Structure 1
Amino acid sequence: MVEELLGVRPPDPMPDKKGSKTGGLKFTWLQQHFHEPPDGADEPNFERYARAYVLYVFGTVLFEDSGGSSASWMFLPLLRDWDEAGRYSWGSAGLAFLYRQLDEACRRSSGTSNIGGCVLLFQIWMWERLSVGRPISRTRRDWEYDEPDRLPTVTHCWDEVRTNWGKTEDLYMSYTNELDCLLPSHVQWLPYNQIDFQLNVVCTQDESMWSVRCPLICFYAVEFHLPHRVVRQFGRLQLSPPETISTSIELHK
């Protein structure tokens, strides 16, 4: 399948120290073979490079695994037909994958444990709403593009920051204690109301779906989207306690 869609056969996966084989394509291999398309490349060749690039973005941003060295090839068949791929809800799939990664990460105990998913999304979401671990924001650079589809996203608010440094163990304890002491009044529920620049249209084009309660699906990861628990971030009155919807272990099998 990889050779069919990318035009190059990858090396056979080698088992790791635990005897498991990789479930994806190494980033180093993708960079080596698809760094830049050759001059005069035809359309099929460009499509192969485009698939490799999208797969690389999936593995490094949207669907990053906790290993951080390869892109899962379970997404590759979905990139066979570009028109069909454009109909998928990649955002909801990315959110489902992130939810599952958070669920798994909080149950890991190894000293080398890590987290996967779109951690950039999680990081920006947290910085916007909570003071815990929030860096100091500096004066951001002026945005150089005016076209509606090239305007910045919320991430531009954190274009220039001064991050917090320290030992992982110390920061972990500090952040855990701060999170345990959080009150509703400590949360910035409507952070986007304070943005002083024009957002990219992609940020609000699906606004009608923000409050939908439904399963989010990404292959094996099925997680419920339950915005009724945090309707204050949509400017609505929060009922307390919110309606209970089971997210039992059965959902995660």
Structure 2
Amino acid sequence: MILTERLYEAFQQLGWGRIPEIVHQHAEEAAKENISYLAFLDKLLHEELEAKHHRNLQTRTKLARLPYQKTLAQFDFSFQPTIDERRIKDLATMRFVEHQENLVFLGPPGVGKTHLVVALALEAIALRYSVYFITAHDLVQTLQQAHQTNTMKQKVRMFLKADLLIIDEIGYPKMDAAHFFFQIISERYEKGSIILTSNKWFGSWGEIFGDTVLATAILDRLLHHSVTINIKGRATELKKRKKLGSFKHELMENNDM
């Protein structure tokens, strides 16, 4: 009993959460199968490391504030032929993050831009990069509020510390205080990667930001080291409607039989 208490106290001090749950089971198996001490220890430590990795993954995913979780495997590339699947999978290696480069997804609403950036975010998290997701509207609104409450430095620092900052939905709605957006782009320039999505082509960004000169300054910094993915495919909602329409058509045919 004293030995068990000492072990559990040591587990607690070391921050091991999985080993206390499995140590007796593995000890019994080791005794029955005559497993060596080193093999027994190796199995325990391997499970603890796996559990720790899983906990860290969950924590990083939660801190990323993703709107949902969708993977690249769930994206239907056949429905969007303008997207090069090999190029997206190459981006999933996160080499662009290592080189502090940016990634911009342009395309009309509903073509899967946010799905792709969320999927890339999950790939980044799996590779132990820190990620933060926010819409362009919420980003500017957050900084406006921080300016009013004298907490600007803390908020800006929050948007700078992530290895990968994702800014979604540039273009709706238009920005009233675009200089705050410029500040984040400028501060992260050549220091940290950004992924952006927009339903507007670059030529329309002057209208989005209400200032052509400011839009040009933003684009200069954003596109200096960047990859742009233009999606000209069909909206995923149309795909869903087609499937639903096909289902309804089959249902009507069956009812007529």
Normalising to structure 2: TM-score of the pair? 0.29
Give the helix-richer structure, 1 or 2: 2
Normalising to structure 1: TM-score of the pair? 0.30
| Higher RCO (CA 8 Å, separation ≥ 6 residues) | 2
